Amino acid sequence: MDGAVAIQKGTPKLAPFHITKADGNITKAGGVANTWTDIWTYEVPLGTGVILQAGDTLAVYLEDATAEVGNYDCYIKLEVRDPSGLSVGQVFGPSLYNRVKEFQNRNTIARLGVYEPVKVYPRQKIVLCVKDNGAINASNSYFDLFTSKVAVPLAQ
């Protein structure tokens, strides 16, 4: 080609996509006891879009300073935020921790309950928030959000 830009035509194809704490676009922070805290924040990179849909799965394992958190005193929620953080949409929860700690059993794993697909555009954030009676140790904790991505920006 002579410097011309190729334009992709048609509908972008969805690709299965796991977001985990190992992703290079994740920032993590330790939790603060008894307050909602952003534990993991995924910033959608330029040239990519994420589509959160009903049936996408979320699994989380959390530890505080010494061991796994309690099932009935820890809450989880998943939010989508604009780049400024001023506009927030909740896509999961708040839910008790015991609802999201299953990683393998497809019958009991937590699923997003959105009514229609949620498009998450480049530079927007998907944030996993936790409220527990102890401080969460993000380094010893992990999660898996199984969703879909597109390799081109989504039409806004």
pTM: 0.87
For the segment 76-120, what is each residue's pLDDT rounded down to a tens digit?
999 999 998 888 899 999 999 999 999 999 889 999 989 999 999
CATH architecture observed for domain 15-149: Sandwich (2.60)
Where along the chain do its domains lie?
15-149
**What is the pLDDT, as a whole number, of residue 151?**
79
Burial class (CB in 10 A: 0-12, 13-18, 19+), 44: buried
- On whether the CB atoms of residues 136 and 30 are closer than 8 A, the answer is yes
